[in-house]
Amino acid sequence: MNKGELPSKNCVVCGLPFTWRKRWARCWDEVRYCSERCRRAAKRREPQASEASSGAR
């Protein structure tokens, strides 16, 4: 397979496109983030969003 033919996705945190990597071969359907940094950022965002919605009463 040529590098240009590899599947790609957009990161759910930063929105940038990223391409398939060999280490993701078995779990490509579950990959959501382009990097460890974006994965950590997503975990930090979740608690803030739930606090804001519950405190809006």
Tens digits of per-residue pLDDT, 8-48?
999 999 999 999 999 999 999 999 999 999 999 998 887 65
Number of compact structural domains in the chain: 1
Q: What SS3 class is residue 1?
A: coil
How much is the pLDDT for 48? Answer: 53
Q: Could you tell me if residue 50 is inside a domain?
A: no
How much is the pLDDT for 51? Answer: 54
Q: Give residue 30's domain range.
A: 8-43
How much is the pLDDT for 1? Answer: 73
CA distances from 46 to 21, 29, 31, 36, 54 (A): 27, 22, 18, 16, 13
Q: Could you tell me if residue 54 is inside a domain?
A: no
pTM higher than the cut 0.75: no
Cα(54)–Cα(57) distance, rounded to whole angstroms? 7
Q: Could you tell me if residue 48 is inside a domain?
A: no
How much is the pLDDT for 40? Answer: 95
Q: Could you tell me if residue 12 is inside a domain?
A: yes
